[in-house]
A and B are shown apart, each in its own frame.
Chain A
């Protein structure tokens, strides 16, 4: 158990809908990362927050947004969902968000868009 929690574990929804994925980092970790894992694209970095502020953006679509709250939990919002958004979404956390900090991954949320 990495200490990172993600809810829900599974999510099934329809095209055009909006969903929110939630992540609680390990106790004391200030940095949260979101990744998308799909069979064709592999593990892709989406976005990073550090202590409530956006720090870096990766391959995140404009339909997707995220935020980190004062209690350090984070939410990833996915809107206008398309079939191709079906994937595993992982949250990871690290102590300070520095390059060499180990990232601890949560168990993921499996999103299925029908």
Chain B
């Protein structure tokens, strides 16, 4: 119940295309869903986050879509650029339900954007 399943493991997109990464969770007590971006040799950095009271959140080229009934959320990167090439992690947390507010991460998606 604590798992967050992320797909795909890797993704290759042409410059200007849309990158889509999906995550699914089981624990209905999760109520905070951030996405982190990690470049090689660096720590993860928060990209965008959503709470389940909204179905979509957009920040620049990055959008989170959230489907509470399906227990799924996804990251869309519009107009993907070579500089977006990184590993992306979805995560979930909730005060109740065992995670005690701490982040449960998906396994990550390695995105490569080809010029």
**Residue picked from B41, B103, B107, most chain A C-beta under 10 Å:** B103
Interface string of A41-79 (1 = CB under 8 A from B): 011110010000001101000000000000000000000
**Residues of A within 8 A of B (CB-CB), count:** 24
Which size bracket describes the interface of B in this complex? 20 to 34
Interface of B, helix, strand, loop or mixed by DSSP: loop
**Partner pick for B101 among A92, A99, A102, A106, CB 8 A cutoff:** A99
B45 to chain A: which residues have CB within 8 Å?
2, 104-105
The contact sample of 30 A-B pairs, CB cut-off 8 A, is A4-B43, A33-B102, A42-B89, A42-B105, A42-B107, A43-B44, A43-B105, A45-B103, A45-B104, A48-B102, A55-B100, A56-B100, A56-B102, A90-B44, A99-B93, A99-B94, A99-B95, A99-B101, A100-B32, A100-B49, A100-B51, A102-B34, A102-B46, A103-B46, A104-B45, A105-B43, A105-B44, A105-B45, A107-B42, A107-B43
